[in-house]
Structure 1
Amino acid sequence: MNDEEMTESEEVRLMAVPITDSFAQAAAEVLREYREMVEKSLAQAEGDKDALVLVEIANMVGTPKVGVARGSLYGMLLEIAGMSWDTALDHVKALEHDIVRKPAPVWSPLVLTRAVLESCLFSDYLYDPSISGSLRLARCAGLWRKDTDHSANLARVLEQDEEIAEADDYVTKALADCGIEARRSASGKITGYIVDSEVSNLDFNITERARSRLPEWLPMPYGLLSGAAHGRPWMTDRARTMSKDKDGLVGEAATVMTAIMIVMASLEMCLRDLQGYFGYKLDAALAELLEYRRVNFLRLIGLAHAAEQSETPDASV
């Protein structure tokens, strides 16, 4: 077991009851309405003239010799962080449909939620308003290098050695033009980057970042999602034990509720980042989302348990 997964002793469910049609329909509707509220709040948001992003760009452009190059890297940072946000929303929409499919889903809601969380954490890593502009650039440099390494691994499989060298030379030159220094291990391997004395690794630990950035009321979110995504028996056996004939798998309301909780927390995390970084006025929207979440969590829990008494669960797979 790797460090992304929960141990068997951790709590893995909220409600040990099967998914029913009425619960699934209500849960999907709640998630859809919540996502639309998030999108509406951003569509109506206006940036502040003193926003952190504008201050950092102004400081960067004014940096002697490397200002233009850093401005270009900063543009890439904004593009990929925004792309991660769009990717997160795409997976939320997929989850809305997955919840109501027939037969009822078993572990796919948690796997889709893992994709939402990872995309949101990627965006959060770059938009985090609590860090300096120099550290933000160092993080972007590390992620760019890491992605280049991943692309190089694919190119090797395809025997495209020339493209590997070209990509490596391009990234190396672009970062040098920015005045960004590579941090190396004793063996000479690049382990991160330094920008104006600010140091960042090539990548971030998703498990640790999820633990530190998401609210405490979530039950070790990334580890739980990874247990489902990796198909580990300690996690997946729950679906079999719920099946009366022991031959199929039965989806639990707990998985849907957990998926919705983590998605909502992830989107709210990103909204707070956008508020702090772009100066968006989102206090009212965040308060509205909080109230919506509280009311509907209670409603969905009630629906799940009420349905347990009155409905037959969806067919197992």
Structure 2
Amino acid sequence: MNDVMPEGEAVRLFTVPITGEFAQEAAAILERFRDLADDAMRVKDIEAFEQDTTSLFRQETAEIDALSDPLRTERHSLHGLLLETADLTKDNALDHVRALEHDILMQPPPVWSPLTLSRVVMEGVLFAEYLFDPTIPLNKRLARLAGMWMIDATHAQKQAEALGPEDQAKAAAMLAYVEDCLRKCQATERRNGNGKLVGYGVDGETAPMDMNITERAAKAMPAWLPAPFRLTSGAAHNRPWMIGRAKDLAEGDGLVGEAATVMAAVMVAMGAVETVVKVFGEYFGVDVGEGLRQMEEEREAFLYRAIGIAHGQ
């Protein structure tokens, strides 16, 4: 850092106001990362992709093909839902990267909203990573989806209780449909001593009802990004210990954001994008190495530029 910071001067990086130039630089790197991710995850040779039998995706498809009907058909449907769910959460995460770009440019500058948006980016990516995780077998992958799907169905049912009979009937039908599909796929319920449903098992592999997002963030996010989940939780949950800092900085006149908040949000978002690109490549057998290399170069270059801009170097 000595080439951009005055020698011998103690400076807390980015504890300065958000300037227009700094905001533009931060928004630009997020847009660049979205473009790099889109390019890296695009299958450029469809014929080669379809003929490849070595990818984890193809191996799992073949594993299901080896089953007998009707289980084969039911498992293919569940596997297809897994792909759709992971893709949905990934797309929602990238949409919130785009929202973060616009939020950073807001005038007056944002206070804590960048961290909240980056939290959504990270959670969406972690759901996709949880399902595409290349270190687990197919049966555990299906067990993970079974739990997530049931959690969603029960949440929808609880929400419908406040909406009226028509929505309640739809939610009940959805829950019954999920239960029937999981039964046909031979996903077995796991219950605790009190009879509460705590997860599912598929052919000897088990998974809880939902992922532990704190543990997942620590495991799946890049090593260069320490404690990303805790970094964003205080702002996302509106906790006074976190958000009070903005009032102190304002010296009694409303709330004031600082460049450090934007930097934290941007780094979390970039780390999340790198994570989803990496796991996508590992699961589908797509070469994303060049995209990840460019992301690393762009991230490091952005950090140095941002220090210079924020501290007037």
The TM-score normalised by the length of structure 1 is 0.89
CA distance in 2, matches of 1:78, 1:115: 20
1:164 CA drift (Å): 4.3
Give, as a single letter, the amino acid of the residue that structure 2 aligns with 1:88. A
Contact 2:29 2:302 in 1 (8 A): yes
Contact 1:14 1:257 in 2 (8 A): no
Aligned to 2:155: 150
1:153 CA drift (Å): 0.3
1:247 CA drift (Å): 1.7
Aligned to 1:183: 190
Aligned to 1:224: 231
Candidates 198, 214, 225, aligned match of 2:221: 214
1:85-234 alignment runs, 5 A limit: 85-160=90-165, 161-234=168-241
1:23-42 alignment runs, 5 A limit: 23-42=22-41
Report the 3-state secondary structure (helix = DSSP H, G, I; strand = E; otherwise coil) of the residue aligned with 1:157: coil
Q: CA 1:194/1:44 → structure 2, altered by over 3 Å: closer, same or farther?
A: closer
1:44 CA drift (Å): 5.0
- Structure 1: 4+ residue segments shifted above 6 A: none
Report the 3-state secondary structure (helix = DSSP H, G, I; strand = E; otherwise coil) of the residue aligned with 2:108: coil
1:62 CA drift (Å): 1.6
Give, as a single letter, the amino acid of the residue that structure 1 aligns with 2:161. R
CA distance in 2, matches of 1:159, 1:182: 30
Aligned to 1:63: 67
CA distance in 2, matches of 1:163, 1:24: 45
Report the 3-state secondary structure (helix = DSSP H, G, I; strand = E; otherwise coil) of the residue aligned with 2:310: helix
Aligned length: 294
Q: CA 1:173/1:44 → structure 2, altered by over 3 Å: closer, same or farther?
A: closer
CA distance in 2, matches of 1:158, 1:14: 48
Report the 3-state secondary structure (helix = DSSP H, G, I; strand = E; otherwise coil) of the residue aligned with 2:80: helix
Give, as a single letter, the amino acid of the residue that structure 1 aligns with 2:211. F
Aligned to 2:263: 257
CA distance in 2, matches of 1:229, 1:247: 22
Report the 3-state secondary structure (helix = DSSP H, G, I; strand = E; otherwise coil) of the residue aligned with 2:256: coil
1:169 CA drift (Å): 2.3
1:166 CA drift (Å): 2.5
Q: Is 1:267 paired with 2:237?
A: no
CA distance in 2, matches of 1:227, 1:14: 20
Contact 1:45 1:282 in 2 (8 A): no
Give, as a single letter, the amino acid of the residue that structure 1 aligns with 2:61. I
Report the 3-state secondary structure (helix = DSSP H, G, I; strand = E; otherwise coil) of the residue aligned with 1:191: strand
1:181 CA drift (Å): 0.7
Contact 2:43 2:286 in 1 (8 A): no
The root-mean-square deviation of aligned C-alpha atoms, in Å, is 1.6
Q: Is 1:291 paired with 2:297?
A: yes
The TM-score normalised by the length of structure 2 is 0.90
CA distance in 1, matches of 2:283, 2:29: 28
Report the 3-state secondary structure (helix = DSSP H, G, I; strand = E; otherwise coil) of the residue aligned with 2:41: helix
Q: Which moved more, 1:158-167 or 1:204-213?
A: 158-167
1:44-59 alignment runs, 5 A limit: 44-46=43-45, 47=49, 48-59=52-63
Q: CA 1:26/1:163 → structure 2, altered by over 3 Å: closer, same or farther?
A: closer
1:149 CA drift (Å): 0.7
Contact 1:24 1:99 in 2 (8 A): yes
Q: Deviations over 1:117-140 (max 9, x none)?
A: 010001001011111111000001
CA distance in 2, matches of 1:162, 1:177: 23
Aligned to 2:82: 77
1:157 CA drift (Å): 2.1
Q: CA 1:156/1:257 → structure 2, altered by over 3 Å: closer, same or farther?
A: same
Q: Which moved more, 1:160-169 or 1:259-268?
A: 160-169
Mark the runs of 5 or more structure 2 residues left unpaired by the alignment: 1-11
Q: Which moved more, 1:138-147 or 1:286-295?
A: 286-295
Q: CA 1:40/1:165 → structure 2, altered by over 3 Å: closer, same or farther?
A: closer
CA distance in 2, matches of 1:296, 1:260: 10
Give, as a single letter, the amino acid of the residue that structure 1 aligns with 2:84. E
Report the 3-state secondary structure (helix = DSSP H, G, I; strand = E; otherwise coil) of the residue aligned with 1:88: helix
Report the 3-state secondary structure (helix = DSSP H, G, I; strand = E; otherwise coil) of the residue aligned with 1:200: strand
Mark the runs of 5 or more structure 1 residues left unpaired by the alignment: 1-12, 308-317
CA distance in 1, matches of 2:53, 2:203: 26
Contact 2:41 2:281 in 1 (8 A): no
Contact 1:73 1:137 in 2 (8 A): yes
